[in-house]
Structure 1
């Protein structure tokens, strides 16, 4: 079985490539654990100046894996809470990593994949990238990733995209602040390399403290408490009648009951 995450040291850059291309790099416990472990290891590696996050195959990340979702739909609320906290730890680790991070978004990102993009300090995409926070179609919400997405696009935009589950293109992602730059696919690697070069010209301690400065200036509240509250919310939604109907309809490839009434 292929490793869920490919790790490459390219000079001062650590490249982490999600390696589930046949499933559009969808999350499962193995990928979440591998990403979390690799990011934590990067904290202790002084040779790493920049972390680049990318995906193998046509997609950046499709969010939750279908089989994982099927299993969690049948799990208890406590089991869903523990599962959500594992994803919360990944997002928090990426967001607070004491190294600058770049999301190389060459293709679609949905759900938790949008969360990864939002957690990175710099996000560069191509016109082929598409985005969606589609959880409300399943009777759920992007609770675990919400702090990072709201930080990236702002509360006003988040209200729309969280509620409607619309998909949007790279141009819109640039306009709302999810992406910093959109370049042609052929220019993507050069654009990422240019940012790596700029970051490596800056002082390492200063770049590490930059995100701490921004976080403190923004006056964020108790992060661990917020993670627990969001994990509680998604756990409740997954086991609720609406969540069970939405997930069941998705797995059975049928419209949910509320869509039939709409």
Structure 2
């Protein structure tokens, strides 16, 4: 399908999405949010053509800027930023969808662009990457970004980024946990990750991410849910069949 603000390609179990408004710094507008939501919905589907049975989603930006944030020109022209819920829901899909979301970052990331990064499961960045929350300079604050950012880097690091409004370089972003992998060759790093991630099955990813979303990190609070999840997994016929096959044939589930 053709899109106005992004490119989306499906190859085997991988969907690659490229934000494609380089003339506007890949700024987020209503059409981009609508198209992103449509693509991620396709990636969620369990049935349908092979191109829709996606286990890995890769998000990147066209040109020298990953994403400059919200489209200020559109806001200035209309006098409104529009409804924030559709964009928040896109970030929820990246965070909780039944696939591994990978953000491939090159260049500047600002404001709402940080939301895409913070919502992704894995972030691979090169040394040109920088991250900033500039909202307070305009009398705003990143209300929708913060729930995802706090989950990734912790409350104080997110608080400091918000107050200071200045860009954080790639090395500092790696130190606080916003970036998982800092590399000189993002494509090579992506290929290395895909070799391993290709073995994961969609039902297992979906079950794990649903559990993780509800996991507080407090062992006492999480005990009941952890025990239920563990018991469910070890009574799943597919899981047990894979274990038996490994015991008898020393082959992993993906091996023929």
Shorter-chain TM-score range? 0.7 to 0.9
* Greater Rg by CA: 2
Match of 1:13 in 2: 14
Give the distance between the partners of 2:74 and 2:41, measured in 1 at CA.
24
Q: TM-score, normalised by structure 1?
A: 0.76
Give the distance between the partners of 1:150 and 1:31, measured in 2 at CA.
25
Match of 1:52 in 2: 58
The one of 181, 191, 194 aligned to 1:193: 191
Report deviation, 1:170: 0.3
Residue 169 of structure 1 pairs with residue 147 of structure 2:
no
Residue 62 of structure 1 pairs with residue 92 of structure 2:
no
- Determine helix, strand or coil for the equivalent of 2:168: strand
Contact 1:109–1:129 (8 Å) recurs in 2: yes
Q: Which has the higher contact order (CA 8 A, sep 6+)?
A: 1
Give the distance between the partners of 1:161 and 1:213, measured in 2 at CA.
29
Contact 1:32–1:90 (8 Å) recurs in 2: yes
Report deviation, 1:202: 2.5
Residue 143 of structure 1 pairs with residue 143 of structure 2:
yes
Aligned residues: 212
Report deviation, 1:207: 2.1
- Determine helix, strand or coil for the equivalent of 1:218: coil
Per-residue CA distance 1:83-112 (angstroms, 9 max, x = gap): 212222222222221111100001111111
Report deviation, 1:70: 1.0
- Determine helix, strand or coil for the equivalent of 1:128: coil
Q: TM-score, normalised by structure 2?
A: 0.78
Please list every run of 5 or more consecutive structure 1 residues that lacks an aligned counterpart in the other structure. 221-262
- Higher mean C-alpha deviation, range 205-214 or range 112-121: 205-214
Residue 213 of structure 1 pairs with residue 198 of structure 2:
no
- Determine helix, strand or coil for the equivalent of 1:201: coil
Counterpart mapping for 1:1-262 below 5 A: 3-44=4-45, 47-71=53-77, 74-75=79-80, 83-184=83-184, 187-218=185-216
Cα RMSD (Å) of the superposition?
1.9
Please list every run of 5 or more consecutive structure 2 residues that lacks an aligned counterpart in the other structure. 47-51, 219-256
Give the distance between the partners of 1:20 and 1:159, measured in 2 at CA.
30
Give the distance between the partners of 2:144 and 2:59, measured in 1 at CA.
19
Give the distance between the partners of 2:3 and 2:115, measured in 1 at CA.
24
Give the distance between the partners of 2:213 and 2:19, measured in 1 at CA.
27
Name the CA shift for 1:148/1:19 in 2 (closer, same or farther; >3 Å). Answer: same
- Determine helix, strand or coil for the equivalent of 1:25: coil
